[in-house]
Amino acid sequence: MKVVLIGVGQAGGKVTQAIAEFDHEMGFGAVQDAFAVNTARSDLSALEIDSMLIGQDRVKGHGVGGDNELGAEIMQDEATEVMDQLAGRIDSRVEAVMVVAGLGGGTGSGGAPALARELRRIHDIPIYVLGILPGRDEGAIYQANAGRSLKTVVRESDSSLLIDNDAWRESGESVEEGFDSINEQIAQRVGLLLASGETVDGVAESVVDSSEIINTLRGGGVASLGYATADASEDAGENVNVITSLARNALMTSMSLPDAVEAEAALLVVAGAPDRISRKGVERARKWVEEETGSLQVRGGDFPLDTERLGVLVLLGGAERSRRLDEFMQRARDAHEESHQRDPTETFHSEELEDLF
């Protein structure tokens, strides 16, 4: 899938650059352009991708200090200037735009939904948001910001792929080490997903193309992505159980939004050397994902890669019914109460949930 990535805020910029670098290093060619927008000059100076500073008149390049209402206002006020910068980047080759943001910070959580809304107003291709949820130890303001932003992001995007910062953190890691590790995993997983519809060396027996990703996410709402990999035999017939086991590991232990198993639609991608991919294994894994998710829309296919290992990606669309998401929203409510603010996060599905604009 040919995409343009737009990072908003500090985390959004870092993750956007990581995905673009992974795509370039692997030679996939899925990322057509990568761009970063921020209110903090220092965050942009650390990036190697093209970028734009917004809000200079209001915050003088120092960021919004965790104020996501201000982040949303600045993005809305300068939407014309931002869209002018993006005009030449989103051309006829581009099949989707992905706005990348940490939903806990001020610029990302406020600016990402505002930018997604403007992009949807102008473009007729899917506008996705890759939203990163703060971990439990990241502070009350981050929980509150993300709880408020999430409702807005889901409404303003065609689908919101969520990454829980606690999902891929390893015990004993410092916060900084944890973020670096998570960014690498996001880059690998999202990079492989985007590339799975692109032409690479090798011929897939059952091709996964961009339409499979788009159709899986067509219903909107929350999306989640899992990945697992293992050594594989040179004989495809011996890899039936490898593929089914990888599908289980991807769905049950490695999702970006843990415990998000029920879904409206799903996509199973088996990556590896074509002569190592068992058709029987792919079909068994697809049926198992269908049973576990309760979805009748489970698509599947191959992604040829020159490697001795096999990998399985599982993308879920319409995965709002998640215990992990419920737990996160409760943390957001608690954070608002602790800060003596009016609680805008009564429930994730409430139509009265206050959003950012």
- Asked, for residue 121, whether it belongs to a domain, the answer is yes
Q: Evaluate if residue 127 carries a pLDDT over 70.
A: yes
Q: What is the pLDDT of residue 344?
A: 45
Residue 189's SS3 state is helix
Q: What is the pLDDT of residue 323?
A: 84
Q: Do 55 and 159 fall into the same domain?
A: yes
State the Cα–Cα distance between residues 124 and 32, nearest whole angstrom. Answer: 17
Residue 49's SS3 state is coil
Report which DSSP code applies to 276.
G
Q: Do 25 and 143 fall into the same domain?
A: yes
State the Cα–Cα distance between residues 116 and 131, nearest whole angstrom. Answer: 12
Tokens of 335: 């954070």
Q: Evaluate if residue 135 carries a pLDDT over 70.
A: yes
Residue 211's SS3 state is helix
Q: What is the pLDDT of residue 343?
A: 46
The predicted-structure confidence for 192-212, as pLDDT tens digits, reads as follows: 999 997 755 545 557 788 999
- Asked, for residue 293, whether it belongs to a domain, the answer is yes
Domain that holds residue 308: 221-317
- Asked, for residue 344, whether it belongs to a domain, the answer is no
Q: What is the pLDDT of residue 177?
A: 66
Q: What is the pLDDT of residue 352?
A: 38
Q: Do 22 and 88 fall into the same domain?
A: yes
Query: What average pLDDT does this structure show over 307-321?
Result: 95
Q: Evaluate if residue 25 carries a pLDDT over 70.
A: yes
- 56 contacts: CB under 8 Å, gap ≥ 6: none
More confident residue, 73 or 178: 73
Q: Do 175 and 228 fall into the same domain?
A: no
Question: Over pLDDT 90: what percentage of the chain?
Answer: 77
Q: What is the pLDDT of residue 98?
A: 98
Predicted model pTM: 0.92
Q: Do 98 and 229 fall into the same domain?
A: no
- Asked, for residue 213, whether it belongs to a domain, the answer is no
Among the residue ranges 146-150, 265-269, 349-353, the one predicted with the least confidence is 349-353
Q: What is the pLDDT of residue 65?
A: 94
Q: Can you give the CATH number for the domain in which 240 is found?
A: 3.30.1330.20
The predicted-structure confidence for 327-349, as pLDDT tens digits, reads as follows: 898 999 888 777 655 444 444 44
Q: Do 149 and 21 fall into the same domain?
A: yes
Q: What is the pLDDT of residue 241?
A: 97
Q: What is the pLDDT of residue 203?
A: 54
CA angle 61, 63, 65 (to 5 degrees): 150
Is residue 264 very low, low, confident or very high in pLDDT (cuts 50, 70, 90)? very high
Among the residue ranges 34-48, 57-71, 181-195, 332-346, the one predicted with the least confidence is 332-346
Q: Do 124 and 28 fall into the same domain?
A: yes
**Whether 270 contacts 297, CB under 8 Å:** no
- Asked, for residue 357, whether it belongs to a domain, the answer is no
Query: What is the average pLDDT value for the chain, to the nearest integer?
Result: 90
Q: Is 60 left (phi over 0), alpha (psi -120 to 50) or beta?
A: left
Q: Do 191 and 255 fall into the same domain?
A: no
- Asked, for residue 308, whether it belongs to a domain, the answer is yes
Query: What average pLDDT does this structure show over 133-156?
Result: 92
| Alpha helix stretches (DSSP H) within the chain | 9-26, 41-45, 56-59, 68-77, 79-86, 106-122, 140-156, 175-195, 210-217, 240-253, 279-293, 323-338
Q: Evaluate if residue 238 carries a pLDDT over 60.
A: yes
Q: What is the pLDDT of residue 350?
A: 42
Q: Which residues pair with 8 in a beta bridge?
A: 37, 101
The predicted-structure confidence for 83-111, as pLDDT tens digits, reads as follows: 999 999 999 999 999 999 999 999 999 99
State the Cα–Cα distance between residues 18 and 11, nearest whole angstrom. Answer: 11
Query: What average pLDDT does this structure show over 237-251?
Result: 97
Query: What average pLDDT does this structure show over 156-179?
Result: 80
Q: What is the pLDDT of residue 181?
A: 84
Query: What average pLDDT does this structure show over 218-235?
Result: 96
Q: Can you give the CATH number for the domain in which 334 is found?
A: 3.40.50.1440
Q: Do 19 and 88 fall into the same domain?
A: yes
Query: What average pLDDT does this structure show over 204-222?
Result: 88
- Asked, for residue 349, whether it belongs to a domain, the answer is no
Q: Evaluate if residue 59 carries a pLDDT over 60.
A: yes
Q: What is the pLDDT of residue 216?
A: 97
Q: Do 143 and 238 fall into the same domain?
A: no
- Asked, for residue 248, whether it belongs to a domain, the answer is yes
Q: Do 158 and 24 fall into the same domain?
A: yes
Q: Do 116 and 251 fall into the same domain?
A: no
More confident residue, 234 or 324: 234
Strands 298-304 and 265-272: parallel
Number of domains in the chain: 2
